[in-house]
Homo-oligomer: A and B are copies of this chain.
Amino acid sequence: MTDTTVTIVVDALGGDDAPTVVLEGVDAALAADSALSIILTGPVEVVESFAAARERVRAVPTTEFIDMAEHPANAVRTKKDSSIVVGCRLVKDGEAAGFFSAGSTGACMAAATLVMGRIPGVSRPAIATVIPASERPSVLLDIGANADVKAENLVQFGLMGRAYAQVVLGVSEPSVALLNIGEEPTKGSMLAQEAHALMVDAVPGFMGNVEGRDIPAGTADVIVTDGFTGNVALKLLEGLAKTLLTQVKDAMTSTPIRTMAAAVLKEPLMELKERINPDVYGGAPLLGVRGVCIIGHGSSNARAVAAGIAVAARAVRGGLTERIATAVGK
């Protein structure tokens, strides 16, 4: 069985090491998926020659660039010929089914929401991420699109996260949990209590509250929270994993004899680092917009870019947008 043909737009300018790692990532993604086509947006001198040398790549030259430091919504409104805005428009116009960028998260979010538009019924799109847990990965959302939310938004995050877990983790009936500071329904903030009461009826697979310790434990397929708490949790997770593994490495190389012993353990420890590396899940989807939109880390390497493109293709093939429309439209 061959995969369905899918076209993904890739922002050649997205990320700290663009365009080099983006182009390498595109090549890797194409090599891994023979039914994949790419549209590249970016400066003519970057995209034209690259596309000319490849069968399944089309170039759409753009003249503007949105910097990480710019105000996202303003930049999207004024820079209509930027690689991000044009990329989202190609999805809107049906030229491609999904968009990938490792550029400014805020600009991608603003462009996708303004240009592609929201799925009918979705009041607030949310950004999700896959947490590589010890037992099985979890989808965590919102990780920063909405710092202030209402309980109804959290219900929709649960439905959208569920659709994403079905498509990207391949779980047919994902469990959905609410992040809270106690297990009982009456625990936590007023927002969490209200959301719990609504989710019981509105979200299939709802298993109740989980706590902070459950995020890296893989207790639920989907963990729902507001964008403030989710962003703090994600950055804490990334920061601590990095700090701890560095400390382990330092401790293991503090004397020559220890360094020799550590050499024997390099392989399993690299495997572990690999297993908890979020790159393999390829970036963060903006859920709730009309079209697949995957946002990569600014520090993405070629492999992370390839993984992001692959996830975009998987989300398209799995009917992510339609699943969200059906779930939220109910």
Q: List A residues at the B interface (Cβ < 8 Å).
A: 134, 144, 147-148, 179, 181, 188-192, 211-217, 225, 227-229, 231-241, 243-248, 251-252, 254, 257-258, 260-262, 264-265, 268-269, 271-272, 275-276
Whether B181 lies near A147 (C-beta < 8 A) is yes
Which of A227, A232, A245, A260 has the most chain B CB atoms closer than 10 A to its own CB? A232
Determine how many copies of this chain the complex contains: 2
**Minimum distance in angstroms from A148 CB to a CB of chain B:** 5
Question: Complex Cα distance A260/B147, Å?
Answer: 49
If A147-B181, A265-B258 touch, does A213 touch B227 (CB 8 Å cutoff)? no
Q: A252–B269 contact, CB under 8 A? A: yes
Contact B272 A268 (CB under 8 A): no
State the CA gap A241–B239 with chains docked (Å): 12
A280 CB to closest chain B CB, in angstroms? 16
Contact of A231 among B181, B217, B235, B258 (CB under 8 A): B181
The answer to whether A258 touches B247, judged by C-beta atoms less than 8 angstroms apart, is: no
A241 proximity list for chain B (CB < 8 A): 240, 244
* Interface core residue of A228, A257, A271 (most chain B CB under 10 Å): A228
Tell whether, in the assembled complex, residue B236 and residue A233 are in contact, meaning their CB atoms are under 8 Å apart.
Answer: yes
A158 CA / B240 CA spacing, docked (Å): 23
Q: A147-B181, A211-B232, A212-B232 are in contact. Are A261 and B254 (CB under 8 A)?
A: no
Q: A228-B229, A232-B233, A252-B269 are in contact. List 20 more A-B contacts (CB 8 A).
A: A134-B243, A134-B246, A134-B247, A144-B181, A192-B228, A211-B231, A212-B235, A212-B237, A212-B238, A213-B238, A215-B236, A217-B243, A229-B232, A233-B233, A236-B236, A240-B244, A241-B244, A247-B275, A257-B264, A260-B264
- Contact present for B213 and A239 (CB under 8 Å): yes
